[in-house]
Amino acid sequence: MSILFENVTAVLMDSAHTVLPGAFVAVEGRTITSVGTVRPNGEFARVINGRGGILMPGLINCHTHTPMTAMRGYGDGHNLQDWLNDFIFPVEAKWDDRAIRACADLGLMEMIASGTTCIADMYMRMNIMGQAVADAGISANLCCGGVFFGDTFSPEACDDCAVQEDLLRTWHGHDQGRIRVDAALHAEYTSTPGLWEWTADFAKRNNLGMHVHISETKREHEECKARWNGLTPIQTLDKYGVWDVRSISAHCVWTTPEDWSLMAKKGITAVHNPASNLKLGSGVAKVPSMRKLGVNVALGTDGVSSNNSTDLFEDMKLAALLQNGVLCDPLAMDAWAALELATVCGAKALGRDTGAIAVGKDADLILLDPDAPNLIPCHDAANNIAYAAHGANVKLNMCRGKVIYENGDFLTIDADKVRREVTEYALPLLFGK
């Protein structure tokens, strides 16, 4: 289908930080075919008048656990280890496929309505998540974070090996690559060298990316050093070939300059999760320092259970303000840098041809409401997006040329059915409500 956006303020997310008022952006099929201030020739099946509203690349959430939407606000007020052991793990033991699907759909609704077009999701029962993503119309890199605590590793002794192989067979490359599968370890502290080697080999054999939780808490970081003769989680896993493919490392709060040099050399993306890290008291990742050493830094919300929201605009604003405050420098993380984390840097992290408005890029686009009071006036589009916008300002969400959300309506998800399934089935199953 051919679609033309007209009369939009297009934030291109190119290296020149170009903003085009009165722009035209044309889409054919899944691809952007024209960008400029002159109407392109030809007929279009649909013309969308943006009325001066901001058109920007869809947001990319590089670390989340979508079905955990069910645990919004549950177990608040505890550190990471107590929160996991006393609240999250006992609830997760009650999951079934129907509940996972309902809560996955609810989580996707929240992200789609707030402008996300692509996610990197790590969780369990990921074949169910794959079907939810396929139906919803967004793009996703899916993975099952491998866990193994046994003394003697073998692929047959680790259920997650079979799960990863099945996920690969079922979903990798679905819909011309809209869904991709990555290899994954949950973390250094929840696995052993045998699984590290198997997962590294699995990724290399199948040309997959890698997704791992890294140095989220000081305790995790220091206990790893104690186990491995002073080596950090990044350094430890490197010895086993984990980072020899395109990789994302979630959190990186306690990573070191030595880690950053290795990450830059290996092309490992750090995924910053500011809201989750603050809520759980994990600390503040040193994003400007990482970027100065050449590390690609992307943005994630983490799960709703530790953030309470998957509105990536909130994390974008927090990412900027947090660094400026901690470093006492109003230029430590400016608006454009924050925008890059949520768009072009996320695309690089996930190996996606998106994150910018340019000819040939995937047509992952969101349109912000020009009449939203919090976006008036607009002296600077980037500043408005980074510091003033929120998910409720999203009027339209297009993924790969297909409009999946518009003016409050979900076009690929039965929202009323999802709400019923969550309230009448999933929540009673998980919490006895």
Per-residue model confidence as pLDDT tens digits over 209-238? 999 999 999 999 999 999 999 999 999 999
User: What is the DSSP secondary structure assignment for residue 254, as one 8-state letter?
Assistant: T
252 and 364: one domain? no
Domain span at residue 44 reads 2-57+356-410
Is residue 80 over pLDDT 80?
A: no
Is residue 433 over pLDDT 70?
A: no
Is residue 254 over pLDDT 80?
A: yes
Q: Has residue 222 been placed in a domain?
A: yes
Question: How many domains would you assign to the chain?
Answer: 2
Residue 324 confidence class, pLDDT cut points 50, 70, 90: very high
144 and 220: one domain? yes
d(CA 308, CA 312): 12
7 and 147: one domain? no
Residue by residue, DSSP assigns 83-122 as HIIIIIHHHHTT--HHHHHHHHHHHHHHHHHTTEEEEEEE
242 and 337: one domain? yes
330 and 307: one domain? yes
Is residue 56 over pLDDT 90?
A: yes
Domain of 243, CATH number, reads: 3.20.20.140
- Do 268 and 298 contact (CB within 8 A), yes or no? no
Nearest alpha carbon to residue 56 among 326, 423, 378: 378
Arithmetic mean of pLDDT, 365-392: 97
User: For 40, how many CA atoms within 13 A lie in the half-sphere containing its CB?
Assistant: 21
Q: Has residue 391 been placed in a domain?
A: yes
Q: pTM here? A: 0.97
